[in-house]
Structure 1
């Protein structure tokens, strides 16, 4: 065992990774300028410009790395990382631009001088430089992007990427968000043109502008603040220090408290401290008093020397407290100057001496080991520690910021943010902008991911830079192990266990803390772990991953999961082992089942296999994994999955092996079916069936016939569908007799047959099929159980048995969540909502239907999505929202016209017919005809009966006779045992 903190890495000469803000600046029109003036005059101008570069950049904490001609490259964040390095780069650019505009142009040049600049932040690999490369050589994408932004900037313009500034952008006036396609970059880059400095002084105000994290929970903390204010109002002065790490929500909590306090009989003052050039002594108090400029004593105090000013300010505040109770709030006290801290103590002492009604509220961050504590600190204050959101609170915050996002992605946001309100806000903001290509979606995996906000990386790195070398070494080792850290493994790598002071110090600094599982630690925030990990050099990371994999294999007392070994082997570049373990991890996840984990592991196996492409068995192994991948996709398909299966089919065709071709075409057809693309899936399954028949594989023939039956059923070709399903069921019943196997295929075939029978109005027969299917899988919590329950819910809805439909839909929704099948999860949610709407006009039904449909939209909508559009069209029509209803009518009709899905078409057309009332009789008639045609195509008696009822409703609304339609509707309802609808028809007849 070796202590990693004592190692001298052999790869140190390869440079170090740093998160830097990079500024490129160039003189605009410099070529034409050089041609237009005398060389001596140009040289003098150039010398003055270069002097400005060297004067201005260091003032803002940056370093000039290289000057070439009239252009300059500067970095911010080395040797010390600061959370505001992006801001410093922009401030530097603004000052440079202003100074260059004031320069006297060379003789012979009649225009003013201007710079154009680009700023971008990100990870770079830094090497010592030379005369050619500058003080440092910077390798990576970040310098290139900054240079491209500078090239794209117009004369006098400063272009800065969105991820560089984040919420620090509130310090500046900026253009609208631009999406720039930079040369050499595939995806557009979100950027802004900085036009000047803004009046906003606090991050909270920027959050309000962009979309504030919802105020959730914090009841205990609010009660403590209210109690402190009660004490102060009773002339018992109180100082409360609110302490928490960056982003946990100090300012959000205080703003909520101050909003409530404003309604009480007290005067509220606000101020903040900052650690930048614009900071000045007594800054927060001067900000407070700036709002009291109508008071002569305030104007007089502001003109006094510093020492006298302090005493004068003290008297002003004390005098104010005699008139009305005072509440003073100071944010970011960790950056306060000594004078501010002295005034706080003297003000509190004076308030206590005179029994003044005054409350001091300060917000600050915890101190790190080694921090120099000022002589005057907030040590006299009562401390209120603010903790990150609980899981429930974090979930609420994500749901409010991203109300329509995929719920499984929302879970990943919560996991990645770890309860930190700022991280939740930033990840949700990134996801909201994902369509522009500027966001980074949290991954459902153990993979690392560099967050899309370089300023967040700077925030974390600035905290990390305050740790000593020992703590940093432990933190880096923990980051390489993963988000969850077995304590024994950390001990093996670093010589420091869970109770070691170095590890405990990381918990105090909000990095790593004990997990719920004994013997494990975990990163409090997944974002923090990713940033620390990415800051470790590639070769160092790989060496550590190799050591971790070796420890996992060697320690017999620890059963290493395949998933963990696959991750570390892959990160170490051991592709053969990574492939084997990822494949086995996928098999384990599929058996549980956990579909998203299975798909992720199979994708990892295929990625590892690409590094072994020269292997003779490459083709067979690739297709074998793709088969397993297809099994995971059936209940949770997305369009991205098709690319894997299409490649497998291409490899199979190249082999001319009928068995490989049959299975590859089978899975490609099946996943097309799962995506709701019946027309596209049919030819694949037909080719697969022909190949399976050539090799006389009875089991595969039965599978393919069953899938063809499902595809025919989806396209409403019921006669051939039933024939094919019956043939498949006959073989699958024989196979189901084998012990130890869950009869997944048979259960789903029976459910599909039940769906056809139910759509044809043979409800009793359909329930018999459902009962048999459920007898095979009930209680398994397998994805197929969710599918069967989802179809059962749909058939109950067709019959009007709302209570049973909601119960079945709830099971589909529950199991879909367990197995991480977004499709069954969403469809169960939607079917239950429609049942609740029909049963009791549930006011939440519309929102639930919209959510479920939105969740599936990025994947193409999925199997039978016309049902969602039909349900939504009907409910929106009832809510008198015609434009929205018509959009869903169009979506349902589009599904039918592709011959992929007819189930919701008639329902959508009936909603459109009702929307045409009362003056558009021809349009109404056309939609009713379409509804009837869609129902007749399927032989759907329930839809024909509902269309008759709709004809009757429209006729009555126009004052026309409806007896014919009511007679037809009642007859069908009675025949089909649709009791609820029959009662509605009779009520309508009575009213008519």
Structure 2
């Protein structure tokens, strides 16, 4: 039997269906319904090919169309959307004939791009058979579209969404997907014609990092009589050519030139000489009477000091290239000059001489960081690092990644690539020669950084300099920063290429790479190659060998403090656990992985780590050993506490404690009880937590080993924070001092956690400058240790304390920007109610009541879900102040009642005193001055006893 030809490709899929077809079939005469279907099919056969698409299958009143195959289009998402708009518009003519008010004729369409397997089809399966999850998702997007609606996944369009007008984004939940899919309802065309204009809508990186190129341009423009009449500007897609042209146009216009802009495009609707017709029409005076070559040429040559500025010259048709050559041959260089921007480096035109060429390189690190900071308010340093690494200095990627993170469509621990980016990569890749494609596949399998010796061993020879130059030209492979290495321009580019490889091809290539590395490990050092050995063994499907390598590499990363890398290796090992030959081997490996993975997560806990620990608990539950189950519950409790799931943490730790007590493991009991005290405080069980701390701290104070001292110091700091939150600041200060004495190592990673508690306690006391100093130390340490929760919370503490000092609305905005980072769904939310309470207060103070309600909703949610009530009383007081300012005393009184209840639940004297201060204001507003004065005096006295200033909300 002959094998079916198949190909793995990234493609864009358009599903369109006739809305309410069952009712239409019943309501129309059979002949009418058939005529409707035939008309829809005729529209599709006219519209889809006109936009470069293919109709794969027509099923009754629905159809599936494919864009980006066999011809690759980097704008396939835009093409599919344009086609859907034309089809929906054409339906109006059919609806006018056959539709009624009861039975309107409308389509609904869904568009999504993703990796699919394309196989040759037949009469049953259509022109091609397209298999893969992307097909199911596109169908689900179509199902979610309302009558007459075109719904497109946001990742399919990327920046090209700005070619269209869209309704507010909404999320759908495809079956089998954990994360929701953001979709855009496209309502029409925006009138934008150029990609640069589309991207400008979302916000552009500032013009920077181009000093040398800009100086070269200004010299060229000032020396028009003695220089070539053409300046070529080249660089890969997204490098900032259009931005550079925009600045060129502004500068030249200010210098007295008549700037005539135009652009070429790859879209099927592009006309011959399009760029020159646009340029001629933009000049002062009457535009050309027609777009004939003669009329356009006359208009361009008639002007004085005309600067042609043409973008995307790589898409110029032959007629345009010949036209420009003739134009430059006849023009006076002092009266007409031309700047072309192209992805290609060749700018040779007959009769014009050799063009002067400027190459735009990626932005350097400093310029990249400045661009990120300009696009992101109060940027998370971990997000900044990730964008800087992933973007490779490409302004387009910097913009898109910043916008994705700012809008919450990407998170620091998720892959920020979108289908729009992968389509652009695939488009460039498919135009390469076969030898170049094969080399890039091999390099993509090796990784982002490609050791020269490794690829040369696999390639069979040193890389040909001409080949490397070609791969740089198309923005793929470059000499590495370390001598003897190569690197992909963007890590995202490598990831896109790797995703395009089929499973079997990947495994074969990984196996080839593994064999070469194993052979070289003795000479080159096993330790240096350990990460690579683990990665390629796992990816090659080497079972027990891969698991052993992965655990060994994870251990090495854990020792080196590379915790994210250690987690990745241990997770890879877990996936191979079932390949071990005996149940005993699986149990021992599962026990080892449970403890190793827990240690790798504890410094920077994240919600997805809980699912991994649950998998390990299931593995170990098969064997029923009490020690294993106790430890599994212990790690689940610790990570649940770390991510802010206090109630869940209490359940796990109580289960672990019960198992430890039943087994008589005294050494474990004290440790679990200490962790349980923290979790009870985090879940709002303040009295129980305080009692447990009081009972266990004396035994903890005698700690001797490093681990015991760290546990004891953290427990003292946690109890100190509890006391500070309750208003017992003298006791809190003594406990913090004891924590410092026990730890006796300010360089310990645990010290950052203690300082985080200290800063929060100082904020509770109103010591703003001291709080900022403590939080600043946490920020520095947490950035080095990659502890995102600590870093984010410390930045929120700093922003709140600064706002309390200054009252500046910009400082309130900075606090709100940090608070937004907690809303992405992938962060630790430990004690985050406190942050949401702060920002609720700040938003009320600046008069942004809708945002205050948003964050108060988060405070309430945290109390219900996790028992985290740290910001509850503060938030309700802020909302009461807003109501009081609006003259709604009844609502203010109700909110104050909620604040009093929250303070009572937390057994907090300081919150009670703050509530009394607000109650005094409310009584004064109601005209009860005497009672207001009495309550204010009582609150002031309470603050004095707690050694606190009687500060109030702003």
> TM-score normalised to the size of structure 1?
0.80
Task: Tell me, in whole angstroms, the C-alpha distance in 1 between the residues paired with 2:361 and 2:864.
Answer: 55
Could you tell me which of 214, 217, 222 is aligned with 1:231? Answer: 222
Q: Residues 191, 705 of structure 1: CA spacing in aligned structure 2 closer, same or farther, 3 A cutoff?
A: closer
Q: Does 1:703 align with 2:666?
A: no
Q: Residues 766, 632 of structure 1: CA spacing in aligned structure 2 closer, same or farther, 3 A cutoff?
A: farther
Q: Residues 336, 751 of structure 1: CA spacing in aligned structure 2 closer, same or farther, 3 A cutoff?
A: same
In the alignment, structure 2 segments of 5+ residues that lack a partner are 95-102
Q: Residues 376, 789 of structure 1: CA spacing in aligned structure 2 closer, same or farther, 3 A cutoff?
A: farther
- Aligned-partner SS, 1:329: strand
Q: Does 1:744 align with 2:710?
A: yes
Task: Report 1:413-492 matches (<5 A).
Answer: 413-428=387-402, 443=413, 451-453=417-419, 455-492=420-457
Could you tell me which of 540, 543, 551 is aligned with 2:516? Answer: 551
- Aligned-partner SS, 1:536: coil
Task: Tell me, in whole angstroms, the C-alpha distance in 2 between the residues paired with 1:966 and 1:661.
Answer: 54
Q: Which moved more, 1:748-757 or 1:613-622?
A: 613-622
Task: Tell me, in whole angstroms, the C-alpha distance in 2 between the residues paired with 1:896 and 1:535.
Answer: 45
Could you tell me which of 171, 192, 195 is aligned with 1:200? Answer: 192
- Aligned-partner SS, 1:736: coil
Task: Tell me, in whole angstroms, the C-alpha distance in 1 between the residues paired with 2:188 and 2:786.
Answer: 48
Q: Residues 49, 671 of structure 1: CA spacing in aligned structure 2 closer, same or farther, 3 A cutoff?
A: closer
- Aligned-partner SS, 2:781: helix
Task: Tell me, in whole angstroms, the C-alpha distance in 2 between the residues paired with 1:424 and 1:896.
Answer: 37
The answer for the alignment partner of 1:506 in structure 2 is 471
Task: Tell me, in whole angstroms, the C-alpha distance in 2 between the residues paired with 1:233 and 1:510.
Answer: 32
Q: 1:703 offset after TM fit, Å?
A: 0.8
Task: Tell me, in whole angstroms, the C-alpha distance in 2 between the residues paired with 1:905 and 1:279.
Answer: 60
Q: 1:810 offset after TM fit, Å?
A: 0.9
Q: 1:850 offset after TM fit, Å?
A: 1.7
Q: Does 1:361 align with 2:339?
A: yes
Q: Residues 940, 36 of structure 1: CA spacing in aligned structure 2 closer, same or farther, 3 A cutoff?
A: closer
The answer for the alignment partner of 2:646 in structure 1 is 678
Q: 1:254 offset after TM fit, Å?
A: 2.3
The answer for the alignment partner of 2:843 in structure 1 is 876
Cα contact 1:293–1:299 (8 A) shared by 2? no
- Aligned-partner SS, 2:822: helix
Task: Tell me, in whole angstroms, the C-alpha distance in 2 between the residues paired with 1:713 and 1:941.
Answer: 16
The answer for the alignment partner of 1:106 in structure 2 is none
- Aligned-partner SS, 1:83: coil
The answer for the alignment partner of 1:527 in structure 2 is 492
Task: Tell me, in whole angstroms, the C-alpha distance in 2 between the residues paired with 1:377 and 1:87.
Answer: 38
The answer for the alignment partner of 2:299 in structure 1 is 316
Task: Report 1:172-571 matches (<5 A).
Answer: 199-209=191-201, 211-218=202-209, 220=211, 223-224=214-215, 227=218, 231=222, 239-259=230-250, 265-291=256-282, 295=286, 298-300=287-289, 302=290, 306=293, 309=294, 312-321=295-304, 325-348=305-328, 352=332, 355-356=334-335, 358-367=336-345, 375-376=349-350, 380-398=354-372, 401=375, 403=377, 407-428=381-402, 443=413, 451-453=417-419, 455-497=420-462, 500-555=465-520, 556=522, 557-558=524-525, 559-560=527-528, 562-571=530-539
Q: 1:688 offset after TM fit, Å?
A: 1.7
Q: 1:507 offset after TM fit, Å?
A: 2.6
Cα contact 2:326–2:351 (8 A) shared by 1? no
Q: 1:463 offset after TM fit, Å?
A: 1.6
Task: Tell me, in whole angstroms, the C-alpha distance in 2 between the residues paired with 1:864 and 1:886.
Answer: 19
Cα contact 2:917–2:935 (8 A) shared by 1? yes
Q: Which moved more, 1:686-695 or 1:59-68?
A: 59-68
Task: Tell me, in whole angstroms, the C-alpha distance in 2 between the residues paired with 1:616 and 1:711.
Answer: 34
Cα displacement string for residues 368-409 of structure 1 (whole angstroms, at most 9, x for unaligned residues): xxx8x7654987333222222333444454555554886534
Cα displacement string for residues 245-293 of structure 1 (whole angstroms, at most 9, x for unaligned residues): 0111211332344356555644332211123443333221111233469
In the alignment, structure 1 segments of 5+ residues that lack a partner are 1-10, 104-110
- Aligned-partner SS, 2:573: helix
Cα displacement string for residues 835-875 of structure 1 (whole angstroms, at most 9, x for unaligned residues): 22333445543233223322223257622223213322333
Task: Tell me, in whole angstroms, the C-alpha distance in 2 between the residues paired with 1:463 and 1:410.
Answer: 28
- Aligned-partner SS, 2:266: coil
Aligned length in residues:
938
- Aligned-partner SS, 1:851: helix
Q: 1:530 offset after TM fit, Å?
A: 1.7
Q: Residues 433, 673 of structure 1: CA spacing in aligned structure 2 closer, same or farther, 3 A cutoff?
A: closer
Task: Tell me, in whole angstroms, the C-alpha distance in 1 between the residues paired with 2:728 and 2:779.
Answer: 26
Q: Which moved more, 1:335-344 or 1:164-173?
A: 164-173
- Aligned-partner SS, 2:678: helix
Q: Residues 216, 320 of structure 1: CA spacing in aligned structure 2 closer, same or farther, 3 A cutoff?
A: closer
Task: Report 1:152-163 matches (<5 A).
Answer: 163=155
Cα contact 2:604–2:787 (8 A) shared by 1? yes
Cα contact 2:111–2:142 (8 A) shared by 1? yes
Q: Residues 672, 380 of structure 1: CA spacing in aligned structure 2 closer, same or farther, 3 A cutoff?
A: same
Q: Which moved more, 1:868-877 or 1:191-200?
A: 191-200
Cα contact 1:216–1:393 (8 A) shared by 2? no
Task: Tell me, in whole angstroms, the C-alpha distance in 2 between the residues paired with 1:338 and 1:23.
Answer: 32
